[in-house]
A and B are shown apart, each in its own frame.
Chain A
Amino acid sequence: MGELPDEAALVARARQGDTRAFDELITRHREKIYMHAYHMLRSEDDAVEIAQETFIRAWKSLSRFDGKAALSSWLYRIATNAVIDLCRRRRSHPEVEVDVGPMKVDPASQTTPHRGEVPGASVDRAEIRRRIEAALLQLSPEHRAVVVLKELEDLSYEEIAARVGCSLGTVMSRLHYARKHLQTLLRDLHEEL
């Protein structure tokens, strides 16, 4: 049985213009990049778009990848920058989908339908997820990235610093701010659950 080519060999071949080698690199890293983009944007379509954009940018700047850091760290950094660029272009947080489902709404109505939510009533899982997503999306992309990498992808502080391209101190202070902010935003949810 043949061995899988090692990553360094694939990168070297891709640098020479070998798209088949690059295809293999995409296959090895696409899930992680997609997952990271999804955590950042909470949208499947956006995550796929970012994943594509990441690999296209990576192809164009392969000559600048010196191999000192892991390829995955380099790709994460490209992905995070692509997310930041997307957020800046849109000048807003990505849309939060709302499922208004079976509620009867009069199209001529000018006021919001009463959802029947009473403080203390049980909150269904979809609503919890929406509220957590909304809170996460309130963070700037830079703050969101460190929270996602630390709390959801379990990276160390050093790995996070490598992936977002900043110092350890900056990672720590962004994380501190992001945690405080999230706790404030989700305090009501804690109390309801």
Chain B
Amino acid sequence: MKRLLVALLWMSAAGLQAGDRIWSALVLATNENPPRPVPANLEDFAPTIRRVFGYNSLYLLGEKKRNLVTGAEEWLVPSKAFFFKVQVLGKKPTCYELQIELYRGQKLLVTSHTRLARDAPLYIRGPQWGGGQLVLLLEVQ
């Protein structure tokens, strides 16, 4: 009982809000005629991908979710080719300040200090592959 209490106190001190997670995905965006049905868990992202990147069809190649803990580093590996290291620098009621590193294999591609609000994801334009564009997604859920 005492251990449970300590764990709960630690979690609240660390700023963990129950249910806050960071979700990452690797998506292949293509143009097809007719456009293919959007996978259910990409429906929220499809309009933006269409508007910003110009593609009308999506394939989910991989996804990963992790808890968000202030100060902690998390590795999100939606695919073996592209993955993230995310460190939570700070937290406000509706957004997180994150240090994000994007890797391709062993190579660090990009480092970014980003404020990520809930329901306002980060879209990263990746390389061309398989007749389309790879797009990486990060979202606080």
Contact = CB atoms under 8 A, between A and B. Distances in A.
Touch between A and B in complex, CB under 8 Å? yes
A90 B37 CA distance: 24
Contact of B131 (A107, A130, A138): A130
Interface in B6-42: 28, 30-33, 36-37, 39, 41
Interface stretch (B47-55, B86-94, B112-120): B47-55
Contacts of B59: 109-112
Contact of A111 (B32, B36, B60): B60
Given A115-B130, A138-B128, A110 B39 contact: yes
A98 B128 CA distance: 12
A92 B54 contact: yes
B132 interface: yes
Given A98-B30, A98-B31, A138-B128, A112 B61 contact: yes
Interface residues of A, number: 21
Contacts, number: 43
A92 B31 CA distance: 14
B36 A94 contact: no
Interface residues of B, number: 20
Q: Could you say which of A93, A95, A107 has the most chain B C-beta atoms within 10 Å of its C-beta?
A: A95
A134 B128 contact: yes
B130 A90 contact: no
A91 interface: yes
A100 B57 CA distance: 11
Interface of A: 90-98, 100, 105, 107-112, 115, 130, 134, 138
12 contacts: A92-B52, A92-B54, A94-B54, A96-B31, A98-B30, A98-B132, A105-B36, A108-B37, A110-B41, A111-B59, A112-B59, A112-B61
